[in-house]
A = this chain, B = another copy of it.
């Protein structure tokens, strides 16, 4: 850099770069993604400092910022990895060390691959056999309501499919530009994708006082106001909620569907946590099922895209980037356009497709692997349920922290009271007050959580998102450490 500065003093100086902050895509500049934002960059630095022997008030950084189960020590489900290893290296099909059903499943998947190999491209919407298995999974899940494999598009994680559907929806200029209603708090993929696509983000607020319930009156308010400056054409719902952990009631889903139908909104249902429901009395209802059971005109007219993923649930196979979208009542000509669009990227990763197949089509009770598979699955889900309960209890026992029940998903999103002097100090630093809190928390305890401002929240309230994924023996001390830090922080700025 010193050399470059020196050169600049001579003639002819270096040319300005072609690609600079001034000249680059302004939409990309507006993108924000808090889950991997500055706080996580700082966490990485702290880990490196610890490795280099720098003394800190903590011995390890705990990454409770992202729903990454295996990074927090959760073991992969044996059956999934057995089948995948057989698919990756079919020589192992001759080995005596694999159960026979794992071999059968691997052979079935390989038969459906080009050249019988995970190394060939699949068709762009995903391997036909796997899309059929996904359709059957949906049919079982929804009590027999049929699903059509030609409505299933496999994807590179659910994120990929969500962005693809949003991409189709974006059109118009000025006041006619597509607006998309998203919940606040939201998972920031939505705000990021809308910024990148230069669409209009329309916020509707979840009701924290009623356990983050979705209220149609609030949808109506948001829609009415948005119509002044854009053309709202889609409504995103995240159920179970991320970061908010609520599970929607069937009545609520029906009301949302009626609203979307009346107001002519394309529905995007982010249902990637459909297997992560813990609270007694809570139950997952898919939008597809509710919409179909509501009958005419909803069943045959309301457009819907429902997303699912292999990254969450009980398996937490984030690294494989497996996911899918089911489109319902989509105009066939638009579906053709969607197929064309995804074909440009050739295909989703085939190992991720294979993994998704095992998730939607797990061992049957008569299979040799069933007992172990079922035991592993139940252990993970039971632990998550216990951790969800514990998180809520410990936080709510702390003065100044209020935590709604974690009915589902993998996160708590507690509200924290921050003293006015802390808010003022943050403003002096040009920082959101909860970012200031979370950064101080990280520096002093090694706990990495994401400030609520990264997800959106009502003005003047402060939150953070913390995963419930750390192992049980670590989670309780972690929650207590965090609560103590909040007390100390409150005292410091009072």
Contacts and interface: CB of A to CB of B under 8 A. Distances in A.
Interface residues on A, range: 35 or more
A19 B169 contact: yes
Interface string A283-318: 000000000000001001101000000000001111
B159 A345 contact: yes
A121 interface: yes
Contacts of A2: none
Interface in A326-360: 329-331, 333-334, 337, 340-341, 343-352
A343 B297 CA distance: 40
Chain B CB within 10 Å, residue with most, of A25, A76, A345, A352: A25
A193 B344 CA distance: 8
Contacts of A71: 114-115, 117, 120-121
Nearest to A124: B36
A15 interface: yes
A42 B333 CA distance: 17
Nearest to A74: B115
A18 B266 contact: yes
Interface string A7-39: 000000011011111011110110111011000
B119 A320 contact: yes
A70 B120 contact: yes
B171 A23 contact: yes
A341 B26 CA distance: 12
A72 B349 CA distance: 19
A89 B95 contact: no
Contacts of A340: 31-33
A348 B351 CA distance: 13
A4 B331 CA distance: 13
9 contacts: A15-B264, A23-B171, A28-B168, A167-B196, A188-B344, A189-B344, A192-B344, A319-B350, A321-B348
Given A21-B331, A25-B167, A84-B89, 12 more contacts: A15-B261, A18-B303, A23-B233, A24-B168, A24-B334, A31-B340, A81-B88, A119-B315, A188-B344, A318-B346, A321-B349, A321-B350
